């Protein structure tokens, strides 16, 4: 796979995923949308493993990785899919832009990595202020929107912590195996959640919901993760770090063009602060070269 093609593909997939999440709940409910996506994604991963002749590792550290990754996927997606009912899709991507910041905080606590440099602290503060601005504006829109922002924030914490714990385990499991193992753990949890809190099979699905679920299953759950892990293994970390800087801007544009989502001035200011803070966190203090 060409590295530039993989980079562009991951950026486009991550930029369109929030809107696809929003559309996947049309006429069916968010629990059906996320559960069907993960079930189809799991089937595709199993088929890929069978086609390539690979087998899942089942040693202790590999199983620990699957459990942590699966719980992270379940917690993150439950929060994001519920939040998508109340806040614009582009805003979800903007809030998720601060994921590297919290990943760094957890890495400092659990892995002993050096995080609290002057530029990183500046980036954290800017990101927090931007998040507070967005939350304040959401409260003006309605209490549900405020809870939606909180839900996405909890999803960020779940994803960041699971990523650091996986790194601490150091199982060395390949990307496709990690993705398959995570879906093996998370899919039954999604099915159970749907059965307990909804359990209604939709009589008729909006065409956008059908295509969104299929898109998320193939690209969001499989190709996107494989491409991301491929870039991590092949490119320097600072180049891969450009992805969460680019995707929120494109996601805001996608939501505006294809779903008529409007963003207020306060939200734009918060988004700019979050992205500027992420830039300072990732690239501040490095040489011009």
The pLDDT tens digits of the residues spanning 73-115 come to 999 999 999 999 998 888 898 888 888 888 888 888 887 766 6
CB 224, CB 175: distance < 8 Å: no
Nearest to 90, CA basis, from 8, 16, 188, 143: 16
Evaluate whether residue 114 is within a structural domain. yes
The encoded tokens of residue 264 equal 């207020």
CB 169 within 8 A of CB 65: yes
Q: Which two tokens stand for residue 79?
A: 């929060």
Q: Can you give the pLDDT at residue 181?
A: 92
HSE on the CB side for 74, CA within 13 Å?
Answer: 21
Residues of the chain short of pLDDT 50, as ranges, are 287-289
- Examine residue 207 and state whether it is found in any structural domain, yes or no: yes
* CA 41 – CA 223 distance, rounded (Å): 10
The domain of 125 spans 3-282
In a domain, 271, yes or no: yes
Which pair of structure tokens corresponds to residue 190? 């999604």
Q: What are phi and psi of 27, to 5 degrees?
A: 80, 5
Residue holding tokens 């909006």? 206
Rounded to two decimals, the pTM is 0.87
Neighbouring C-beta atoms of residue 253, cutoff 10 Å: 13
CA 64 to chain centre: 21
Report the C-alpha gap between 232 and 21 in whole angstroms.
Answer: 25
Residue 287 within a domain: no
Residues with Cβ within 8 Å of 89's Cβ and at least 6 positions away in sequence, in order, are 18, 19, 21, 22, 251, 254, 255, 259, 261
| Angle of helix 99-110 versus helix 118-141 axis, rounded to 10 | 130
Q: Is the residue at 289 inside a domain?
A: no
What is d(CA 190, CA 11) in angstroms, rounded to the nearest whole number?
Answer: 26
Helices (H), the chain: 3-23, 30-52, 60-83, 89-96, 99-110, 118-141, 143-169, 175-197, 207-215, 224-234, 237-240, 243-259, 265-283
What pLDDT score does 285 carry? 64
Q: Are 109 and 152 in contact (CB under 8 A)?
A: no
Q: Is residue 79 part of a domain?
A: yes
| Whole-number pLDDT of residue 192 | 97
pLDDT for the residue numbered 289:
41
Per the CB < 8 A criterion, the answer to whether 16 and 143 are in contact is: no
What is residue 188's predicted lDDT score, i.e. its pLDDT?
A: 97
Q: How many C-beta atoms lie closer than 10 Å to residue 198's C-beta?
A: 15
Residue 288 counted as domain residue: no
User: What's the structural domain count of the chain?
Assistant: 1
Q: Which of 37, 36, 42, 60 lies closest to 184 in space, CA to CA? A: 42
């Amino acid at each position: 796979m060409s590295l530039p093609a993989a980079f562009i593909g991951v950026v486009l997939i991550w930029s369109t995923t929030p809107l696809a999440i929003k559309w996947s709940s049309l006429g069916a409910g968010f629990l059906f949308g996320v559960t069907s996506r993960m079930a189809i994604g799991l089937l595709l991963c199993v088929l890929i493993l069978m086609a390539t002749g690979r087998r899942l590792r089942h040693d202790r550290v590999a199983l620990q990785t699957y459990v942590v990754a699966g719980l992270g996927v379940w917690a993150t997606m439950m929060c994001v899919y519920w939040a998508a009912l109340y806040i614009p899709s582009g805003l979800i991507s903007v809030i998720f832009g601060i994921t590297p910041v919290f990943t760094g905080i957890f890495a400092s606590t659990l892995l002993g990595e050096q995080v609290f440099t002057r530029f990183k602290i500046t980036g954290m503060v800017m990101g927090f202020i931007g998040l507070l601005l967005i939350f304040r504006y959401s409260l003006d829109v309605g209490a549900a929107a405020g809870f939606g922002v909180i839900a996405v924030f909890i999803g960020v914490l779940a994803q960041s912590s699971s990523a650091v714990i996986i790194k601490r385990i150091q199982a060395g499991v390949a990307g496709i195996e990690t993705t398959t193992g995570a879906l093996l753990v998370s899919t039954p949890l999604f099915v159970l959640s749907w059965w307990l809190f909804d359990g209604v099979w939709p009589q008729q699905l909006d065409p956008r919901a059908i295509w969104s679920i299929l898109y998320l299953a193939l690209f969001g759950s499989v190709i996107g993760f494989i491409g991301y892990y491929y870039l991590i293994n092949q490119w320097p970390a600072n180049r891969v770090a450009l992805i969460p800087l680019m995707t929120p801007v494109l996601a805001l544009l996608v939501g505006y063009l294809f779903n008529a989502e409007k963003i207020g001035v306060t939200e734009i200011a918060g988004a700019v602060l979050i992205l500027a803070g992420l830039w300072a966190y990732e690239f501040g203090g490095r040489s011009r070269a």
